[in-house]
Amino acid sequence: MNQLEQLKQYTTVVADTGDFQSIRRYSPQDSTTNPSLILRAVQKDAYHALLEKTVRDNRDKSTAAIMDRLLVAFGVEILKIVPGRVSTETDARLSFDTEGSIEKGRELIALYNEAGIPNERVLIKIASTWEGVRAAEVLQKEGIRCNMTLMFSLPQAVACAEANVQLISPFVGRIYDWYKKQTGQEYTGESDPGVQSVKKIYNYYRKFGYPTEVMGASFRNTSQIVELAGCDLLTISPELLQKLSDSDAPVTRKLSPEQAKQDSVERVSYDEKTFRLALNDDAMATEKLSEGIRLFCADTVKLEKMIDELR
């Protein structure tokens, strides 16, 4: 078996792309999208027609409403390919707006429902800010499942678990990027700070019995992926899915609930004040969370401009 086939023995593989052709090629269980991936997709001839059709069919609606319909249009097409779920992101500009995030989550799931897609096949992606976690807590109680993104620290993960969210997406590659820039060092295998962060979160969840799913995300190389074999899910770009398919090097399980129970981590809990202080104390998490929100906001604005140019 190649590495991708071996990985699928231990972990649910998710495609991190808006490219339908790539999703078909690698047969993942689920697929994730974000504003940057959708922006990249609609710039290709194969997907620009979907943007044009969405605008043409909704000219009487606001730019924001057309944007929502574009995201859902991609999601609906993806769900024709994958047997599981698709993740669709709320507007990153709502990252510090609890009520706005709740309303956007409701609007997106309503559009999916109108297209005949049940709630259980959709994950609403929300940034792992304090406000985002509170929004997800409300949505989860309404039967709207959430995927908490832009996660870089254990305090964020703990807050999400205590809010009973469906799934979290701790970022590996962006943590790696930060430490590499700070130290000038290359990191591989278990020494990679991004890998260590996900392992810590996974072990914490499994040791204390939280049902929230852990999906490692934002990978820079296959070493990071292989080192997290056994994580509940891993969302992987088409480029790295291809590299895994091209290699027959052995993949062994690195994470398991049994091993997690032996971890020495202690249980913690956060209210708003202690959460903000803990996040502030982590320079990497603070910087990468802010940067991630800025980048997603910028790409959302670019998408809106493309929509306006077609109206």
pLDDT of residue 101: 98
pLDDT of residue 45: 93
- Mean pLDDT over the full length of the chain: 97
Angle formed at CA 119 by CA 116 and CA 120, multiple of 5 degrees: 115
Taking residues 76-80, report their average pLDDT.
Answer: 98
Task: Pick 311 or 57 by higher pLDDT.
Answer: 57
pLDDT of residue 105: 98
pLDDT of residue 71: 97
pLDDT of residue 304: 97
Can you give 174-221 as a three-state secondary structure string?
HHHHHHHHHHCCCCCHHHCHHHHHHHHHHHHHHHCCCCCEEEEECCCC
pLDDT of residue 307: 97
Catalytic annotation, residues: 125
pLDDT of residue 197: 98
Taking residues 182-198, report their average pLDDT.
Answer: 97
Taking residues 112-124, report their average pLDDT.
Answer: 98
Taking residues 230-242, report their average pLDDT.
Answer: 98
The full set of domains in the chain, from first to last, is: 3-310 (3.20.20.70)
Taking residues 225-236, report their average pLDDT.
Answer: 98
CB contact burial 4-32 (16+ within 10 A = b; e otherwise): bebbbebbbbbbbbbbbebbeebebebbb
Using a pLDDT cut of 70, give the percent of the chain over it. 100
| Nearby residues of 80 by Cβ (< 8 Å), 6 or more positions away | none
Using a pLDDT cut of 90, give the percent of the chain over it. 99
pLDDT of residue 49: 95
Quick one: pLDDT band at residue 261, thresholds 50, 70, 90? very high
Q: Which two tokens stand for residue 119?
A: 């709630």
Taking residues 126-137, report their average pLDDT.
Answer: 98
Taking residues 87-102, report their average pLDDT.
Answer: 98
pLDDT of residue 173: 98
The structure's pTM equals 0.97
Instruction: Assess contact for 14 and 28: CB atoms under 8 A.
Output: yes
Q: What is the pLDDT of residues 284-311, one digit of tens each?
A: 999 999 999 999 999 999 999 999 999 8
pLDDT of residue 297: 98
Quick one: pLDDT band at residue 10, thresholds 50, 70, 90? very high
